[in-house]
Amino acid sequence: MSTSLLLLIIVLIGFIAYFAGRARSFAQSGGKLANLHSLPGYHGSYVAIWAMLPAALVLAAWLIASPLYIDSSVRASLPDSVRSQGEATTQLALGQVKSVAAGLVRLNADEIAALENGSANLRETLAAKGVALAGEGEPYMIKAAQQFNAMRTYSRWLMSAVVLLVAVAGGIYAIRNITTRFRARNQVERVMLASLIVASSIAILTTIGIVASMLSEAGRFFSMVSPVEFFFGTVWDPRFAAAGSSGESGQFGLLPLLGGTLYIAFVAMLFAVPIGLFAAIYMAEYANPRLRSTAKPLLEVLAGIPTIVYGFFALVTVGPFLRDISTQLNGLITGNYQNFIQAQSVLTAGIVMGIMLIPFVSSLSDDIITQVPRALRDGSLGLGATRSETVKRVILPAALPGIVGALLLTASRAVGETMIVVLAAGVAARMQLTPFEPMTTVTVKIVHQLTGDLEFTSPQTLVAFALGITLFVITLCLNIYALYIVRKYREQYE
Amino acid sequence: MTELATPTVRVSTRPAESRRDIGIKRRYAAERRFRAYGISAIVLGLFFLAVLLSTVIKNGYTAFQQTTITLPIEFSEKVIDPKNERATDPKQLMTANYPLLVRDALVKQLGLDATKRPLVKQATDMVSASARTQLRDIVVADPSVIGKTIPVTLLAEANIDSAFKGQIDLSVDESKRKVKDRQVAWMNQLADAGVLKKSFNTGIFSFGASSRPEAAGVGVALVGSLYMMLIVLVLSLPIGVAASIYLEEFAPKNRLTDLIEVNINNLAAVPSIVYGLLGLAVFVNFAGMPRSAALVGGFVLTLMTLPTIIIATRAALKAVPPSIRSAALGLGASKMQTIFHHVLPLAMPGILTGTIIGLAHALGETAPLLLIGMVAFVVDYPGSPMEPSTALPVQIYMWANEAERAFVERTSGAIIILLIFLVFMNLGAILLRRRFERRW
């Protein structure tokens, strides 16, 4: 019986249990619902929970445990000659046994008999049925595969029986519990509360998952390449070693990538901060409600556009535009019509990322500025300051901590941005000061190292996790500090 | 105070011209400048938005039209099945020389000399190479067409398509462009005969990935995105709402809940690519789920959207006034009943708005999907979320990397489709907010 069918049956049992529980509580109440402690629906839910929850837990445990058990017993039954060759060979043989097992299911009795007495070739027979075998099959594999199949079938039947038994038993146990004074609602609510707690712990689990997965993979990377070489290396050249060759695996210097990331983020902030901040000041201090209610959402549209669209915009519009304009400028000044800005460059990526960041800066700062108490504003205006003087001398100093927090949050977004830089910044990992040439970033390299066919053993792919954890730590520090500042700031004026 | 203040107040009797110069002119000029900076910042921001949208639309609207050539194709038995083997060998119909049918029809239509090879080659190059599969599908679906002549609408090759839409500069020297003068003449000849014409491009909505621009579409990617959005909705809405209810209504104020709180705020700001790494390491590598599958993509996007939904839901729950809770509790409802029967329904518009915005974000997200292998060349519709699939933004990314000019048009077309989806989702969110939002 397949797992999904089993699940369906459990749900069906749950439904029946619900109505049975309801009916039972009705019967117990003797027609007067007021006699019951809980409403009949709660009694029904109580029974349904008892019918479904333990069964589902057993099912989940079985699904996790049984493949492990079957694997280990099949492994134990492999011939000693295979097992003595070490873990990797055994694992390989086990994999072959599993594909043979998958193939055997499609054969009829005659073909299996032919395989068993050796008159038919295992690999060819299976290939004819559409099952590709990695190597030439060995005779012992057929036996092991048959054992594997038998155990699996047995395990499936046993699982179905046990799970259904648990479901029915749970339902019956719960129904027998129902009396007029039974506190079904409290029981049901306890289960609900538990599931709420489980749901909220997923957030924690995600963080743990991020940190644990990246640490473990990065740990494997650092066992091959020393952390000093990674964090302080100035050359990024992760050559993919030619097949068969060993030793030389390239250099993994983080600094050029980090330099590119920070440089592009800096250019983007240089572009976004003045525009965003002035827009926020104007909207908070000058604009009438009508302008505010149209301009603010329109600017925020910029934040809702997917970053891939910005990347495409940089690639086909901004990059070529900057290149052509630099050609013209150069021609006008020196007479030599040669572009000095590349189509893919720090400037292209920075400007487009800056456009993307404008709404972040403006709406975050807008919130902060409007939180500055009215009294400060009125006091300054009352003393005869103009509005701009009020903004510059009173409001901005008062809002400064909050604005710094907002800018840090924006900076963390700039550092972690991927699609714009993948399309517009280029792939050359070098350290330079001119913004007119391509540079590359941490995120670009993560994407590059992890697209295509992967093997999770080479430093070339594992380095992506080391880059990832670096990125995570940088953004985490920025975020925590920024959120701390913003929170502090809010409390100050509340 | 008053008796002290009275003697010091003195009305100025000095004439206006001798008033001390306090730089009022300079200060007002500064005020005007400051105001101008503000206005120009807003105008600049809106200008960028306008440029961005107008370039995409200008490049992309033509993608919704496709040049087609309708030719009377003679499904000649001599070409398709010369040895009459189709009854015994089903492969015969799959491997027949279908381009030859197109060539014959085209030669006839243009009145060319079939023996002049280069000339005929140039003519057949005007028709997309996808004609082979198109004709094959017709014959395989209904072998009785063999021997008949049927008008079939074929796609024009991408360069002819561009030329017919007027996107290729024909004044450039012939050797430097991909469309030759002779082809242009034939194109005009076919257009005059009504054989070659532009029509609405349904292909962009239904085709899958293709290396030929004219046969490439976002249909397959749309299905992949749809699967993922369903998974995100089904998982993140209940989990997000449950988590927010616990944190907002039940959680005691202690270290652990503080930690969860900080955690969620941080997760909302973690770069999306980090979620891709998480999905690769945990779902693909550790749990052994298939790469490129919409299921894994859905899981990753769910984790990514959860913080957004939790933050929105908590704000919506917080906005429900305590009097509602007190009233329900006072009438004897349990805490659970109060929340699920009264608070949650009142907070629902806010929750749904947050969810839609979270979904819109997830729909446009690309980076994490690249890492879990959804940059796949997927031609066929995925039958289930476990099969290899791709997503709309990833398709845009892959097309953006193609060099051919016609792909720029396709990419912009796909972006327009994506933006239309996003506009509708956001409009839905706004309408929901307008219609149901209550101010207490």
Q: What angle do CA B51, B56, B60 make, to 5 degrees?
A: 150
CA distance A378 to chain B (A): 17
CA distance A164 to chain B (A): 26
**pLDDT band for position B46 (cuts 50, 70, 90):** very high
pLDDT at B48: 94
- Both tokens of A408, joined, read 């840090």
CA dist., res. A420 & res. A426, Å (int): 10
Closest alpha carbon within chain B to A351: B48
Closest alpha carbon within chain B to A313: B52
Q: How far is CA A185 from CA A290, B172, B247, B251, B345, in A?
A: 52, 81, 22, 20, 20
Q: Angle, nearest 10°, between helix axes A184-224 and B219-245?
A: 120
pLDDT at B302: 94
pLDDT at B3: 47
pLDDT at B4: 47
**Tens digit of each residue's pLDDT (9 = 90 or more) over A216-240:** 888 888 888 888 888 888 888 877 6
Grouping H, G, I as helix, E, B as strand and the rest as coil, residue B65 is strand
B48 contacts in chain A (CB < 8 Å): 302, 355, 358
CA dist., res. B229 & res. B359, Å (int): 7
Of A308, A423, A475, the CB nearest to B271: A475
Q: What is the mean pLDDT of residues A407-421?
A: 92
B420 contacts in chain A (CB < 8 Å): none
pLDDT at A245: 46
- A143-157, B237-251, B394-408: which has the highest mean pLDDT? B237-251
pTM of the entire predicted model: 0.86
B415 pLDDT above the threshold of 90: yes
B263 contacts in chain A (CB < 8 Å): 203-204, 207
CB A300 within 8 Å of CB A280: no
B240 pLDDT above the threshold of 90: yes
Residue A104 CB burial class (10 angstroms; 0-12, 13-18, ≥19): buried
Q: Which of B172-186, B363-377, B394-408 has the lowest mean pLDDT?
A: B172-186
A390 contacts in chain B (CB < 8 Å): none
B residues 388-417 closer than 8 Å to A (CB): 393, 396-397, 400-401, 408, 411-412, 415
SS3 track for chain A: CCHHHHHHHHHHHHHHHHHHHHHHHHHHHCCCHHHCCCCHHHHHHHHHHHHHHHHHHHHHHHHHHHHHHHHHHHHHHCCHHHHCCCHHHHHHHHHHHHHHHHHHCCCCHHHHHHHHCCCCCHHHHHHHCCCCCCCCCCHHHHHHHHHHHHHHHHHHHHHHHHHHHHHHHHHHHHHHHCCCCCCHHHHHHHHHHHHHHHHHHHHHHHHHHHHHHHHHHHHHHHHHCCHHHHHHCCCEECCCCCCCCCCCCCEECCHHHHHHHHHHHHHHHHHHHHHHHHHHHHHHHHCCHHHHHHHHHHHHHHHHCCHHHHHHHHHHHHHHHHHHHHHHHHHHHHCCCCCCCCCCCHHHHHHHHHHHHHHHHHHHHHHHHHHCCHHHHHHHHHCCCCHHHHHHHHHHHHHHHHHHHHHHHHHHHHHHCCHHHHHHCCCCCCCCCCCCCCCCCHHHHHHHHHCCCCCCCCHHHHHHHHHHHHHHHHHHHHHHHHHHHHHHHHHHHC
Of A279, A312, A391, the CB nearest to B411: A312
Averaged confidence pLDDT in chain B = 85
pLDDT at A452: 65
Closest alpha carbon within chain B to A413: B271
- A30-34, A270-274, A285-289: which has the highest mean pLDDT? A270-274
Averaged confidence pLDDT in chain A = 86
For residue B149, list its beta bridge partners: B74
CA dist., res. B307 & res. B287, Å (int): 23
A87 pLDDT above the threshold of 80: no
Of B37, B267, B272, the CB nearest to A278: B37
CA dist., res. A162 & res. A152, Å (int): 15
Query: Among positive and negative, which fits the CA dihedral A247, A249, A251, A254?
Result: negative
**Tens digit of each residue's pLDDT (9 = 90 or more) over A440-492:** 999 999 998 887 666 677 788 888 899 999 999 999 999 889 888 888 887 77
Q: What is the mean pLDDT of residues B66-91?
A: 79
pLDDT at A136: 65
CA distance A234 to chain B (A): 24
Of B46, B267, B282, the CB nearest to A213: B282
Best of A39, A42, A202, A488 to substitute, by most chain B Cβ atoms within 10 angstroms, is A202
CA dist., res. A247 & res. A249, Å (int): 6
Residue contact B46–A315, C-beta within 8 A: no
Q: Does B199 touch chain A (CB under 8 A)?
A: no
Q: Which of A198-207, A237-246, B73-82, B112-121 has the lowest mean pLDDT?
A: A237-246
B residues 7-46 closer than 8 Å to A (CB): 27-28, 30-31, 33-35, 37-42, 44-46
Q: What is the mean pLDDT of residues A73-84?
A: 79
pLDDT at B176: 77
Beta strands B149-155 and B196-200 are: unpaired
pLDDT at B312: 92
A480 contacts in chain B (CB < 8 Å): 262, 266
pLDDT at B161: 85
**pLDDT band for position B391 (cuts 50, 70, 90):** very high
pLDDT at A1: 64
The better pLDDT of the pair B300, A75 is held by B300
**pLDDT band for position B1 (cuts 50, 70, 90):** very low
Closest alpha carbon within chain B to A188: B336
The better pLDDT of the pair B156, B437 is held by B156
Render B96-132 in DSSP notation, one character per residue. Answer: S-HHHHHHHHHHHHHT--TT-HHHHHHHHTTB-TTHH
**pLDDT band for position A274 (cuts 50, 70, 90):** very high
- Both tokens of B246, joined, read 């616990």
Q: Which of A193-197, B368-372, B384-388 has the lowest mean pLDDT?
A: B384-388
B residues 128-147 closer than 8 Å to A (CB): none
Q: Which of A107-116, B116-125, B235-244 has the lowest mean pLDDT?
A: A107-116
Residue B211 CB burial class (10 angstroms; 0-12, 13-18, ≥19): exposed
A386 contacts in chain B (CB < 8 Å): 27-28, 30-31
Residue contact B59–A316, C-beta within 8 A: yes
Grouping H, G, I as helix, E, B as strand and the rest as coil, residue B9 is coil
Closest alpha carbon within chain A to B58: A317
- Scan for tokens 């927010």, then name that residue: B244
Best of A68, A206, A455 to substitute, by most chain B Cβ atoms within 10 angstroms, is A206
CA dist., res. B437 & res. B352, Å (int): 11
Q: Which of A272-281, A363-372, B43-52, B380-389 has the lowest mean pLDDT?
A: B380-389
State what percent of residues in chain A have pLDDT above 70: 93
